[in-house]
Amino acid sequence: MDKNTITGFILIAVVIIGFTLLNRPSPEEQSRRQEQLEKETAEYAQLKEEEKEASGKDSASQKQANPVDDFFVAPVQESDSLSSAIDSLQATKGAEQLLTLENDKVKAVISTKGAKMVSVQLKEYARYDKDSLYLFDNDGDFALLLTNKKGKVLSTKDLIFTPIETEDKNSAILRFSYAENQYIDFTYKLAENDYMMKYDIDMVGLQPMLDREKADIFEIQWSHKMRRQEKSVKNEQRYSHLSYKYIGGDVNELSADKNEQVELKEPSKWVAFKNQFFAPILIADEKIEVALLDSRVMQTDDNSEYLKTCDAHLFVPAKMDMGEGRMSTGFTYYLGPMSYSLLKSYDDNVSDASNQLDLDKLVPLGWTLFRWVNQYFVIPVFNLLRGTGLSMGLVILLLTIIVKLVISPLTYKSFMSSAKMRVLRPQVEEINAKFPKQEQAMEKQQATMALYNKAGVNPMSGCIPLLLQMPILIALFQFFPNAIELRQQSFLWAKDLSTYDAIIEWGTHIPLIGTHISLFCILMTVTNIIYTKFNMEMTNTGQQQMPGMKWMMYLMPLIFLFMLNDFPSGLTYYYFLSLLITILLTIAFRYMINEDKVLAKLEANKAKPKKKSGFMARLEEAQRIQQQQMKEKNKTNSTKKKR
């Protein structure tokens, strides 16, 4: 007699002893049950022998205690039958099988152990090192948790399911049977040429065995280790989140850089384990009633394989069919890239905004105003240019030119305001000479403002165009790091525009700068310094500046060097182009504008009667009050000195 058969007899004996002690049947009943047990034991032993001959190997799971035995012990007592328990023992034994569902985009591997997806490969993408890209590969878990009337919990990850034959090659039904009319079915169906996979749970005839408080709820445990896919660990972790969406509400996310736990007490629609460019998302057909979410950041370096560990404990209402004794619920997995246009398309045929999935909001495009700029301007123009088939570097160049042309009227207005103040510089310097003392600062400022008012110049008019440009600049700062279209697209020396373009790398981490220097970031910094010098000369109006302001202006480009060195080269390439085009536009405006004519017009304005604007009136009143306060303060100080 082999070890497997002995193990089987031992497990059956455990069931018999427990059953006998609890129920204490009569001698006649014991005799009848013994005969039945011997018959079933013989059948079981024969089955195990056949399995061994067919497989030629032992299963490690056959040497372990069976969790189903403990879980279903109470229902077995109520039904007064051991046959179902023995069947369940057989159902949890045997070798694990792997099933594959595959289309042009996704290859998913499903294990009969736990009836769960163990591996998902995205066939159109690769990791930063050109290896195959897996959303997960035996580094996560998914289980349905069942609680019986005695409070014992059974996880489906411990069960061996049986594949049920289907006509559709991209469908799989896996069944765990407790009895012929008592079973659990997990059904998977992969859509054609898409990243969506339908996933349904059906449980038949098992509700009477479950805890009454949880008899109409599916309890699901989903855990996931977020795999590193990109070259820059720091940048990828910055955009990696455990995210979720409330039904009829907005998309929210847990912290990217610290551990966080949250309990969702309101119904939610989906949960996503999203890294920078890819995510598995579990979308409920109806709703997730309650969810316990946990995100934990892992210690990372340039050799790390994982970014975070994520856990979701979900409670999902079941649809009940009391006639068939069926409990069911349904989900859809999204297993794919964080492409804004693709994710947005899943809501194309949903007219009711409250029913939309809003998967596109997983792509961080900035707060409301900046997101609108990206949605309705940047992305449409970018997609139009990308459709031409040009290289991504030329697409970014054309996008930069279009953006600069769109905001060029604002740039021109800002330059014109600087030009007006610049031609008045000699007159401002005369005012400075007239009020040289420090205590005359208020008189000097009032005289300067009076000059500007007479000439029809508003010192703030140059700032307003700059402020109006900010939404576009900030929107693009959000767009480039999250544009999957830049991923693994090369241009010049940059092999991947979605990550940094290092020209020098070293092993030791240096504070602020990291482990590399990016060439486009250096070009951006040098161009920014040149633009700063050029702009300071162009905007010099003769007024005194705060001490150290000049050096502060030169320090800012260096600060951006440290800030953006690890950011995508597509972003720093755009900033380099934008600054370069701005310098060229400024030079062009300088030659287009005749400053002598500007000065003549301002002098003509002085002769015209002026109506003070509300802003200028308030500014002068504030200056008058401040001047009065200064006089009183000086008078008080003088009196104290005399005493």
Output the pLDDT for position 622.
66
pLDDT of residue 430: 79
b/e map of 616-630 (b: 16 or more CB within 10 Å)? beebeeeeeeeeeee
Give the start-to-end residue ranges of the domains of the chain: 3-91, 98-363, 372-606
Instruction: Give the confidence band of 616 by pLDDT, cuts at 50, 70, 90.
Output: low
**63-105 pLDDT tens trace:** 344 556 556 554 444 433 333 443 444 445 568 899 999 999 9
* pLDDT score recorded for residue 305: 93
CATH of domain 98-363: 2.70.98.90
SS3 247: coil
Model pLDDT, residue 462: 63
The gap from C-alpha 180 to its chain's centroid, in whole angstroms, comes to: 44
Least confident stretch, 105-114, 361-370, 394-403, 622-631: 622-631
pLDDT attached to residue 620: 62
How far is it, in rounded angstroms, from Cα 572 to Cα 577? 9
Tens of pLDDT, residue by residue over 559-601, are 889 899 999 999 999 999 999 998 898 888 888 888 778 788 7
Average pLDDT over residues 402-417: 86
For the cut 60, the answer to whether the pLDDT of residue 342 exceeds it is yes
Q: Which of 17, 148, 22 is nearest to 77 (CA)?
A: 22
Got the DSSP string for 488-546? Answer: T--BTTBS-TTS--EEEEEEEEETTTEEEEEHHHHHHHHHHHHHHHHHHHHT--SPPPP
- pLDDT above 60: residue 437: yes
pLDDT exceeds 50 at position 225: yes
pTM, rounded to two decimals: 0.77
- 246-295 pLDDT tens trace: 998 999 999 998 999 999 999 999 999 999 999 999 999 999 999 999 99
Quick check: 204 and 345 in contact, CB under 8 A? no
Return all residues near 388 (Cβ < 8 A) that are at least 6 apart.
395
Token representation of residue 117? 């997806």
Q: Among candidates 340, 212, 217, 348, which has minimal Cα distance to 279?
A: 340
Give the residue carrying structure tokens 């879980």. 71
Interval 532-559 mean pLDDT: 70
pLDDT for 69: 56
d(CA 45, CA 52): 11
